[in-house]
Structure 1
Amino acid sequence: MVLLLVKLSHWQWTRGEQKAQHLAQFEANQAPESLSGSVQKGQYLAIDGQFRPEFAVWLDNQTHQGRVGYRLFLPFIPSQQPSQWWLVELGWMAAPALRRLPPVPELASRYQLSGFVDTPSKRVVLKKETASHDWPARRQRIDLQALKAQLPTLNPQWLIRTEKLVDVTTPSTDALAQAGVTPVWQPVVMPPAKHYGYALQWALMALAVSIGAGIWWYKTKQREAM
């Protein structure tokens, strides 16, 4: 039992260190870069271009502060490389009644987009989704390869998680707030501090079990000696 608790403590501590390194990588990439050459996960981009709202993708079953909703993804055409579309996560929107999709925001202007390069989150889907050419699309997970089959110019490997969006015609306005979208993406779901806290809990439990076993052994030996 003690060995198991110690292993659990070590595992949580290791996970905390991994999360801390992951966050440090994102913080190191805070200086925005333009689209030039290859990109890597965690890279912070600042690009301008236009969205294609008619090809909106709604990621289903997303909760925020106890409310059910969707995450909105839109294709984005960079002015620098218009032949390569990027799928962009804008953020979360509350779900209307009766499982209807929210209205897609009218993002028809030219925008300055700042965000992190990332890959789609791995979600377990119990039932395989059938291909559909209906837009806007409701999806249980983001599959870039499947979307590329419908949007041939879409980047099949990377997407962008929006941190800031500015309408170039009204740069003082928060375009995400104006669109009714709430940014919710975080580089890590559970912060390192929580992992360290769980590691401490497991370690204290191991210590308590060890002390309890020691007391039991001592009392047993005393009874045997009497």
Structure 2
Amino acid sequence: MSLKAVLFDFGGTLEADGVNWGPRFHAAYVEGGGALDYATFEPIYKESDRALGRLSGIERLGFRATVEAQAALLRDLLPAAERFDARRVAARFHADAVAVVNRNRPMLQRLARRYRLGVVSNFTGNLRPCLEELELLALFAVTSDSAVLGSAKPDERIFRDTLAALGAAPEGAWMVGDNFEADIRPAQGLGLRTCWLAPPQRAAPVGCVPSARIGRLPELERILG
């Protein structure tokens, strides 16, 4: 079946080279002198992620405001001795993400002229404002935000609903993402072709081989042909 649609994850895929928000916040925290290793930092980050989803008015926040809100929540959850300058950490995170988006946008614009594009993201209800601020929203025919839809990856419903909205069958679509268990394994199980975006040193889980693997999103154009 000919290719009709390409689905993308958001965080770690459209605005980073296969690294999700937790490790990136940790890198900014360490750069500022933080001493906690990632194993200790990660559960605190995840609690900040849950708190972000409960934040009043989250559905209206754009990308910069979302990053700033999460940085502030994370700072307040850390032990007092480990609290950082939230504005500095948010600024570093935001600048890095915008640089990657600016690099990726021309390729996405070319793909949008050839295929119907969609975003499938476990997000906090404000995916569309974030994409709009990053000047990406117009490129995507469908945006599926788990907080809006009520289903989250790896639940197959969010993939099926997105494909239905795009008018595409699984066999005529690709899924591109950085999270193997949330993006690649469930999409492949539904019959989509899959492209795993991951740093070269990251080992692939066993039991599932993606259709392709890339280290930077612009490499996708070569894969799709």
TM-score tier by shorter-chain length is under 0.3
The TM-score, its normalising length taken from structure 1, stands at: 0.25
Instruction: Report which of the two has the higher share of strand.
Output: 1
The TM-score, its normalising length taken from structure 2, stands at: 0.25
